[in-house]
């Protein structure tokens, strides 16, 4: 019985540590929408313009995530690496 409770407690701790992974669209909406829109320029370029600029460039995702994470050439975004990656993938998929 103690072993079962221990396993269940460990599973609960692991599940709490993983957390809920937001979709790229959700992250972009919550973290980027103040300055960017899908198809029109706001403070920053539209997601469509970003996708067009980086189309076919393999380094695009890493470059954009780095800029958002470190605040170089873009305001620093308070988000996890996974959230930033999801948001960038969403932006780069805009058509």
List strand residue ranges (DSSP E) for the chain, in order. Answer: none
Q: What is the pLDDT of residue 22?
A: 83
Q: Model confidence at 81, in pLDDT bands (50, 70, 90)?
A: very high
34-51 exposure pattern, b = at least 16 Cβ within 10 A, e = fewer: eebbbeeeeeebbbbbbb
Asked whether 77 and 68 are in contact (CB, 8 A), the reply is: yes
Mean residue pLDDT across the chain = 83
In percent, the amount of the chain with pLDDT more than 90 equals 74
User: What is the pTM assigned to this prediction?
Assistant: 0.75
Checking if the pLDDT of 6 tops 50, the result is no
Domain 20-92: CATH superfamily is: Cytochrome c-like domain (1.10.760.10)
Closest to 65 (Cα-Cα) out of 49, 80, 48, 44:
80
Q: Which tens digits make up the pLDDT trace of 11-43?
A: 443 344 445 568 999 999 999 999 999 999 999
């Amino acid at each position: 019985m103690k072993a079962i409770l221990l396993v269940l407690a460990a599973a609960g701790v692991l599940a709490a540590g993983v957390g809920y992974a937001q979709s790229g669209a959700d992250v972009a909406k919550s973290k980027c929408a103040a300055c960017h829109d899908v198809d029109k320029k706001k403070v920053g370029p539209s997601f469509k313009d970003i996708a067009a600029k980086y189309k076919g460039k393999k380094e695009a995702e890493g470059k954009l995530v780095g800029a958002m994470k470190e605040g170089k050439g873009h305001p620093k975004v308070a988000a996890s690496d996974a959230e930033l990656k999801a948001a960038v993938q969403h932006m780069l998929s805009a058509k």
